Amino acid sequence: MEFLAFLFYTGLWYEIFPKENQFQEGGKCVNATYTINLDGIVSVLNQAISALGVYENIEGYAVVKNPAVSATLEVTFGSNQIGSYDIISTHYKEYSIVYSCTDIPNTNLKIEFACILDRRKILPLATINKCNEFLANLGVSAFNLSTTLRNC
């Protein structure tokens, strides 16, 4: 996906199927809110309830890495947590598929992350199947995706 209409992408998204990452590990009710600031930078607020039942959040911002490919973002949380956030498919009012691959400096290692987001807390089975097929075509197995608890 090359072009992203940010105005339609902003707002609240619920995480439906993630591949684990540090912020959400063991958490439930994971969601993200995206807001466009006047300077064009996108504010990001990630929220979750931890495995211990504690509300957690982290704030950051996103900028377009390449203006020719507006769906490819660089997201920064704090001073040293920088990663890619590529919106590889979206139906702005329903679902979004996000993929990230970040190299770990001075190693041959990388951190991969994929998830399906939705505007609602429940995604229709037909949409889940469509998203899983899309990810499978990219080599991301649906078997590796776990469901985020949403009884919030």
Determine the average pLDDT of the residues in 92-102: 88
Scanning the structure block, which residue is given the tokens 């499978």? 136
How many Cβ atoms from other residues are within 10 Å of residue 144's Cβ? 11
Give the pLDDT of residue 92. Answer: 95
CA–CA separation, 44 vs 38, rounded Å?
14
Q: Give the predicted TM-score (pTM) of the model.
A: 0.84
Given a cut of 60, is residue 145 above it in pLDDT?
no
Structure tokens at 99: 């993929």
In this model, does residue 151 exceed pLDDT 50? yes
**Domain 6-144 top-level CATH class:** mainly beta
Band of pLDDT at residue 99, cut at 50, 70 and 90: confident
**pLDDT tier at 25, thresholds 50, 70, 90:** low
> What is the per-residue pLDDT for 143?
47
